[in-house]
Amino acid sequence: MEKKYRYLFGPVPSRRFGRSLGVDLTPYKTCSMDCIFCQLGRTTEKTVARKEYVPTDIVLSELEEWLNKDGEADYITLSGSGEPTLHSRFGEVLEFIRANSKIPAVLLSNGTMLNLPEVRAAAACANVVKVSLSAWDQLSYGWVNRPHPQLRFDHLIKGQKDFRAQFKGQLWMEIFLIAGINSIPANVRKIADLAKEIGPDRIQLNTAVRPPSEDYATPLSEKRMEALTDLFHPTAEIIAEFKAKRGNHVRANQEMIFSMLQRRPCTADQIVDVFDMHLNEVSKYLGKLIRTGQIRSELKKRAVYYSVVCRDEKDNSCTRA
């Protein structure tokens, strides 16, 4: 993407969606939960208030321009820096994509707002909706997801069931497992039973292979996760990046690498594997970004991660460039 858009990013390589154009509808870390495993860090604005967080007309204008000038991606995804269904007009964005493009529209949601009929109606405009489930009752919901005080686990489950009943597209479910927190087979079976009641088309297991918001959120091994896949119906697939998958052949440059680091910290090897670039080329871009003060390096769990430098160091919050 040559032009810098305010609310669009990418297309970037995605584990699940190939080359995905992202649409960001909320300010950084505006979310209804504060999950211990979140790769974006702790939630800075935990809310269930639905409003127009960013100007929808500008988002649609940027999408129209991108479709006319570029328009090549495998999916267009409502994701980004927070929970997209908190944006009161997210359904209009999905409708615009469906009306003006043949590229499938994806909604990446934690599912907390699906208990509201108007949110279910808007979400039904997507081709694919991904929801989340990483707990089995109110207590575990508090441990793992740290939801807004007004949210109840039974409402989360009912909302996802009601949405499944009316949604004609593909419903995917991500289940994030953390060692010692929600990974005991007996508890995973409880999550699996709830998932079966909801009835997603695909179930995907993830774990904290990227730096989480809390240091105690440690990942499961690939072997342990493989042992849990058959508990789910349909059988779960593992999407955690234990091994890099090549084949995207996406040509990255300094701006694309910086855009990727705005979304999550990465090691040089992860950037190499995502973009299928030579390490020397990645190192050159990282060196330039460090020398210009745009990113920093930090040793975490015996690996060097690169992340975007915060504009406001006083409150440890980052804003998008």
How many CB atoms are located within 10 Å of the residue 132 CB? 22
Nearest Cα residue to 44 out of 26, 62, 70: 26
Angle among Cα 146, 152, 157 to the nearest 5 degrees reads: 105
pLDDT (average), residues 146-156 = 97
Asked if the peptide bond before residue 11 counts as cis, ω within 30 degrees of 0, the response is yes
Longest Cα separation, the chain: 53
Q: What is the rounded radius of gyration, in angstroms, for the C-alpha atoms of the chain?
A: 19
How many CB atoms are located within 10 Å of the residue 21 CB? 28
Nearest Cα residue to 215 out of 315, 308, 298: 298
Nearest Cα residue to 60 out of 40, 86, 81, 87: 87
Cβ atoms of 91 and 126 closer than 8 Å: no
* pLDDT of 312 strictly over 80: no
How many CB atoms are located within 10 Å of the residue 169 CB? 17
pLDDT (average), residues 243-252 = 45
Question: pLDDT digits over 159-174, tens only?
Answer: 999 999 999 999 999 9
Q: What is the pLDDT of residue 160?
A: 98
Question: pLDDT digits over 18-37, tens only?
Answer: 788 889 999 878 999 999 99
Q: What is the pLDDT of residue 1?
A: 45
Give the C-alpha separation, 309 to 295, whole Å: 5
Question: pLDDT digits over 76-122, tens only?
Answer: 999 877 899 999 999 999 999 999 999 999 999 999 999 999 999 99
pLDDT (average), residues 139-146 = 96
pTM: 0.78
User: Cα–Cα distances in Å, from 39 out to 36, 187, 211?
Assistant: 9, 23, 6
Asked if the peptide bond before residue 234 counts as cis, ω within 30 degrees of 0, the response is yes
Q: What is the pLDDT of residue 249?
A: 41
Nearest Cα residue to 292 out of 252, 258, 245: 258
- Domains annotated on the chain, with CATH: 8-243 (3.20.20.70), 244-321 (1.10.10.10)
Q: What is the pLDDT of residue 316?
A: 45
Question: pLDDT digits over 289-305, tens only?
Answer: 887 889 988 877 667 88
Give the C-alpha separation, 140 to 178, whole Å: 12
Q: What is the pLDDT of residue 268?
A: 83
**Interacting residues of 8 by C-beta distance below 8 A, sequence separation 6+:** 1, 21, 22, 23, 24, 59, 62, 63, 66
pLDDT (average), residues 265-269 = 84
* pLDDT of 13 strictly over 70: no
Which pLDDT band, with edges at 50, 70 and 90, does 263 fall under?
A: confident
pLDDT (average), residues 133-149 = 97
